[in-house]
Amino acid sequence: EHDHTIPLTSSSPSDKTESLTLADFYSGHSRNIPPLQWWIIAPAFSHQLFLHSESRGKEAAGLAIATSTDIHAHKDSVSASEMMKTPEYKRLIDKSAVSFFGKEENSLAAIGHARLVTNGLQGIDANNQPICRKSIVLVHNGIVVNVDELWEKNPHLERTSDVDSDFIAAILHDYFEKGFDTHQAISETFDQVYGETSIAYFTANKNELVLATNTGSLYWCEDESGDTLFFASEKMICEKLLDKVSAFSDFDVSDCKQISANSGAVISLEDLSKQNFIFSKKLAAPAVESLLAIQKRIDDKSRRIDEARNQIKRCTKCLLPETVPFIQFDKEGVCTGCSSYTPWQAKPKEDLVALLARYRSSDGSPDSIVAFSGGRDSSMGLHLMKKEMGMNPITFTYDWGMVTDLARRNQARLCGKLGVEHIWVSANIKMKRANIRRNVAAWLKRPDLGLVPLFMAGDKQALYYANKLMDESKIPLMAFCANHYEKTEFKTGFLGISSKKMTIHKPSSLPMVGKLSMLAKYGMSFMRNPAYFNRSMPDTLGAFFSFYAIKQDYFSLFDYLPWDEKEIEKTLIEEYDWELSPDTDTSWRIGDGTAPFYNYIYYTVAGFTESDTFRSNQIREGVLSREEAMALVDHENLPRWQSIRDYLQMINIDFDETIRTIDRIPKLYYN
């Protein structure tokens, strides 16, 4: 069902249940504004909030409107901008108008949600937001990573949907039934949930709105008269709204305030009076496998080594095989990569300390941004920035449709425990996945290793949005957390381009001749396979521009700090219950839905993957012996069948036919 109504004044609210979730809020009352004028400007205000909030999710949307007598809710499995065009949405506005004009003195409030799907199919309305749970109408941003465990611990609660937000609404209602006040109920709830969580809700027996967050991902702004206020999940949304809606001239963008991590506010909808409160997180991370148990699981796993791969000639110092583009061996069997390798030199840590000191805030306000993919490097980078370097970062994720649910859960663990605000920029995921499908389908018609990177073109706009976020937030310091072992020049090598000198992790530093050469190579490949001339072309060109053309004004944290794989895994697992993937032994690339597929292609056709180049660089730096590295890649290169199936299902490509096509490609290691 799309629609739901709860009478606020009823002493026994409806038992009909439904699920909803959080993004943005607008509230006011009519002490000083005539009701008719109020009703004209309020929907326009909510309309703009919805449009600005779509950057956080376009897969579903919903709205709940509360007056002094009723709460009306509506949700749909479409974007907010599409939902606002529907007759059902207009009927919601009409029903709310009847409630609003039913009393001479009345209040008006709304909470809305633009959803990025993490768990629970958006096609099932119970999984979308807002959430109506008996007396609770709630919206929620974030991920509760221990939600299954919480349902098991509370068998008396009825689970009505697949989303984690359902538990929050259920436990809050349960606490209120037991006589808890708002502060007690919120504190007890946040003590149980593990992950990043920000909520806003109405209750049927109280004319109030409650806001609470454990990450600080809530901002609110009040006009000078104190008659109106609104909130949003990002400061930039508030600022954009105030720039757009000139009718509210009494608002001052400088008055936009953050609800800090582990705190909240109760807002009366009668007079907009506010009671702030602080809650403390007491829950420790759940117990996890010890590192020894994890290592034993790795050691006990069967070691399947492909016979053909064993026959490839490899460098006698590192692991790189003869199938790597442009590789050559000397008479001792050492590859050109090893013979010309210059040991990596970290920049002085003192330079990093000095850099951060120039930007560190003295009042706890955000002073830096951490690009946050959910992988191990960005997770460790966030930990170091917050706990070791004493910064007050916010995090930024660009979701192009291939950020895995596992990565999202790990992000929630870090942000929730560290109390760090998490900003999401969501692409049009349906369009992005359609573009991936078009390029994969074109590739399967004429397989070419040089064009495999097209599958990942959709994520390159992350650099554009990173720059945009720095401009909008007025935070000029952004950290990326890739490490210096991650060099994959072989990808452009298969396109016919030899390695060019560029500043590591800054593709825009590639010389212009290299960029033009790359465009020419792609152009010739496209001419050989016209199927690439499809509707994904604008997105692909935008990706090239974002990756190679725009200025990348950020610093790499691990240019200054040591990168120790064992220490990173130990820290993340022991301190944050960081989750590993069940289908691989490695902790690398498990947050990227595309990696298992393209690495399977490289492994099948060329006999090596990104793991071989990664481990080879570790050998050159003296971090691993050749024997240790070979043992690792024997496991890491095993096909991740379930992840490959999930990827192909997401982009609507037939699994069996795709694998058959890849297996038929002539191998580079056969004569």
Reported confidence tier of residue 428, pLDDT bands at 50, 70, 90: confident
Q: What is the mean pLDDT of residues 84-104?
A: 76
Long-range contacts of the stretch 435-441 (C-beta < 8 A, 24+): 435/535, 435/536, 435/539, 435/540, 436/401, 436/402, 436/536, 436/594, 436/651, 437/651, 437/652, 437/653, 438/534, 438/535, 438/536, 439/532, 439/534, 439/536, 439/540, 440/651, 440/653, 440/658, 441/531, 441/653
| pLDDT score of 638 more than 80 | yes
Q: Strand, coil or helix: what is 432? A: helix
pLDDT of residue 264: 92
DSSP label at 666?
Answer: P
| Rounded CA separation 167/197 (Å) | 12
Average the pLDDT over each of 45-54, 133-142, 321-330 and give the range with the smallest value: 45-54
In this structure, the number of other CB atoms found within 10 A of the CB of residue 244 comes to 15
pLDDT of residue 26: 35
* Nearest in space to 595 (alpha carbons), one of 453, 443, 483: 453
> In this predicted model, which residue has the larger pLDDT, 671 or 555?
555
pLDDT of residue 630: 93
pLDDT of residue 310: 72
| pLDDT score of 292 more than 60 | no
* Nearest in space to 305 (alpha carbons), one of 598, 583, 603, 602: 603
> In this predicted model, which residue has the larger pLDDT, 636 or 33?
636
Angle at 204 between CA 203 and CA 206, to 5 degrees: 65
| pLDDT score of 17 more than 50 | no
Q: What is the end-to-end Cα distance of the chain in Å, rounded?
A: 62
Within 8 A by CB and 6+ apart from 289, the residues are 297, 573
607 and 668 Cβ atoms separated by less than 8 Å: yes
Q: What is the mean pLDDT of residues 416-427?
A: 92
pLDDT digits (tens, 9 = 90+) for 104-126: 666 778 888 886 655 544 445 56
Q: What is the mean pLDDT of the chain?
A: 82
Q: b vs e for 642-669, b when ≥16 Cβ sit within 10 Å of the residue's Cβ?
A: ebbebbbebbebeeeebbeebeeeeebb
pLDDT of residue 544: 83
* Percentage of the chain lying above the pLDDT 70 cut: 82
Element (H, E) at 192: helix 182-192
| pLDDT score of 164 more than 70 | yes
| Rounded CA separation 227/242 (Å) | 16
pLDDT of residue 386: 95
Tokens at residue 227, please?
């008659």
* Nearest in space to 558 (alpha carbons), one of 505, 507, 509: 505
| pLDDT score of 470 more than 60 | yes
Separation in Å, CA 57 to CA 334, 398, 507: 50, 11, 28
| Rounded CA separation 433/436 (Å) | 5
197 and 142 Cβ atoms separated by less than 8 Å: yes
| Rounded CA separation 418/395 (Å) | 11
Q: Strand, coil or helix: what is 404? A: coil
pLDDT of residue 601: 95
Q: Strand, coil or helix: what is 194? A: coil
Average the pLDDT over each of 42-46, 305-309, 338-342, 393-397 and give the range with the smallest value: 305-309
| Rounded CA separation 651/343 (Å) | 41
Relative to beta strand 219-222, strand 24-29 is unpaired
pLDDT of residue 213: 93
The residues that bridge with 201 in the sheet, in sequence order, are 138, 210
* Nearest in space to 625 (alpha carbons), one of 334, 336, 319, 342: 319
Reported confidence tier of residue 257, pLDDT bands at 50, 70, 90: confident
DSSP label at 286?
Answer: P
CB-side exposure of 36: number of CA atoms within 13 Å?
Answer: 0
| Rounded CA separation 48/45 (Å) | 5
Separation in Å, CA 193 to CA 47, 164, 168, 234, 262: 32, 10, 8, 22, 12
pLDDT digits (tens, 9 = 90+) for 500-547: 554 455 666 667 777 788 888 888 999 999 999 999 999 888 888 888
Average the pLDDT over each of 52-61, 272-281, 420-429 and give the range with the smallest value: 52-61
pLDDT of residue 440: 95
| Rounded CA separation 220/121 (Å) | 30
pLDDT of residue 625: 96
pLDDT of residue 54: 75
| pLDDT score of 291 more than 50 | no
* pTM as predicted: 0.76
595 and 639 Cβ atoms separated by less than 8 Å: no
The residues that bridge with 257 in the sheet, in sequence order, are 220
* Percentage of the chain lying above the pLDDT 90 cut: 40
Within 8 A by CB and 6+ apart from 631, the residues are none
pLDDT of residue 21: 28
pLDDT digits (tens, 9 = 90+) for 199-215: 999 887 788 899 999 99
| Rounded CA separation 413/646 (Å) | 23
Please, where are the H alpha helices in 577-670? 595-606, 610-620, 626-636, 641-650, 655-664
| Rounded CA separation 421/415 (Å) | 7
